[in-house]
Amino acid sequence: MTQLDRLVSAFANLMWGPFLLILLVGGGLYFTVYCRFTPFRYFRHGLDILLGKFDREEDPGDINHFQALSSALAGTVGMGNISGVAVAIHTGGPGALFWMWVSAMVGMSTKFFTCTLAILFRGQDDQGHLQGGPMYVIREGLGKRFKPLAILFSAAGMIGCLPMFQANQLTQFTRESILIPSGLFPANMNTGNLAIGLLIAILVSMVILGGIKRIGLIAGKLVPFMVSLYLLAGLTIVIKNITELSSVVELIFHDAFTGQAVVGGVVGEVIRQGIRRAVFSNEAGLGTEALAHGAAKTTEPVREGLVAMLGPFIDTILVCSITAFVILVSGAWTSDLNGVSMTAQAFSTELGLAGTVVLSICVITFSVTTMFGQSYYGAKCTGFLFGTKSKTYYNYFYISSTIIGATVSISFVINLIDGMYAVMAIPTMTSAILLSPKVMT
């Protein structure tokens, strides 16, 4: 590990200390109780809104409810669901999945509040266009005194929303599961990684320069397909190993409170890894979800909050759980592999060539659509700090970072993004807690 790797790792571990865990989980519990369990009582109504029963073309905003959720999911349902879960199990043991569930359940309430506030306190950018997101919530809802929080969120968001993790894991999967077995990968690994990174950069640039409307249209078509395909393949593996399911569930709950699968048996590390990877995956409390939902066409803030709360359920309770069960029932979690390689081994072992093909399709679509969504987030953060004209320059920087992500270590990428996510969560959760009474009035 290089000195830079160690510095970034120390920064991420410092930020993901007890304070942030209490802020995210404790804040989510506060939201859940304060709104009287609204995400669970109005779950069906949220689905009705999502399906367009209340859409009105004349409402202010850029995209409809379905496209807003799809854009948000395009930024969350990605490599965090395939490789992030594997990282959680590798570092925190099977019990990490339990704490991912806990984080997702309270995260539904968190997203209900943050995305309702994103509509309630939309503001205008320097071009007079209506915008939503934590920085506008802070500016419009809390006033100029709290502007440093808005600046902090936007500055961290410019880095935290870079596609380095997705590019890194897509490169790793392409190299180890497709090119090396086919004998097509060059002898020099750095050259091969660079070539893959360049191809990813070209593909991503073809979409993100079109802006949120194009992202919404493409994500709206790809996200439901990729989620359904992945769930179907994963369920096939789980059903194939149905006799192992009860012991796996028992292992998850036992390890969640004992930490026996972690070196040293530290329960706190299991909890931290579970919550850390859940937030990495579903982004509840980070504020990125508010950036996408803040562009929705609606005059009813609570309505968008009800749509947004479905995100953690789909992302973590469904997709991440399938990944975890596949890894655990297949026994792949006991190997020395990490990240997407662990998940790839599980699919290949259980479904053979079909598993490799299905996972290849899902890895490509999951990672690329995540990059589509996150480019919009980072550009909005840049626009808030430097003006809307700066978004174009950020997009070029964003595209270039895919090449960097493809050529550096997975530990560096994860720790860098984790650290920035932690910084983003502080102003997002602080503003949401302070403004929570506005949601319930």
According to the model, what pLDDT value does residue 297 have? 66
**Is the model more confident about 231 or about 260?**
231
| pLDDT tier for residue 72 given thresholds of 50, 70 and 90 | low
Specify the range with the lowest mean pLDDT, choosing from 50-64, 221-235, 280-294, 414-428.
50-64
**Is the model more confident about 248 or about 44?**
248
- Of the chain, the percentage scoring pLDDT greater than 90 comes to 44
- Helices and strands counted in the chain (H then E): 24, 2
Query: DSSP string covering 343-409, please?
Result: HHHHHHHHHHHHHHHHHHHHHHHHHHHHHHHHHHHHHHHHHHHH-GGGHHHHHHHHHHHHHHHHHS-
CATH of the domain at 250: 1.20.1740.10
| pLDDT tier for residue 264 given thresholds of 50, 70 and 90 | very low
Indicate the number of domains in the chain: 1
Report the alpha-carbon distance of residue 229 to residue 233 in Å, rounded: 6
Domain that includes residue 266, residue range: 3-439
> Which DSSP letter does residue 184 get?
-
CA dist 218 → 33, 75, 221, 332, 369 (Å) = 36, 13, 5, 33, 8
Nearest CA to 132 out of 120, 143, 142, 149 is that of: 120
pLDDT digits (tens, 9 = 90+) for 44-59: 776 776 666 655 555 5
Report the alpha-carbon distance of residue 139 to residue 142 in Å, rounded: 6
According to the model, what pLDDT value does residue 50 have? 64
Three-class SS of 301-342 = HHHHHHHHCHHHHHHHHHHHHHHHHHHHHHCHHHCCCCCHHH
Token digits of residue 400: 């270039």
Report the alpha-carbon distance of residue 132 to residue 117 in Å, rounded: 9
CA dist 125 → 59, 134, 206, 379, 387 (Å) = 19, 13, 26, 13, 8
According to the model, what pLDDT value does residue 211 have? 62
pLDDT digits (tens, 9 = 90+) for 109-165: 999 999 999 989 988 888 888 888 999 999 999 998 999 999 999 999 999 999 999
Mean pLDDT, rounded, of the chain? 85
Burial of 241 (0-12, 13-18, 19+ CB in 10 A): middle
According to the model, what pLDDT value does residue 41 have? 85
Q: Check pLDDT > 90 for residue 263.
A: no
With beta carbons less than 8 A apart as the criterion, state whether 375 and 397 touch. Answer: no
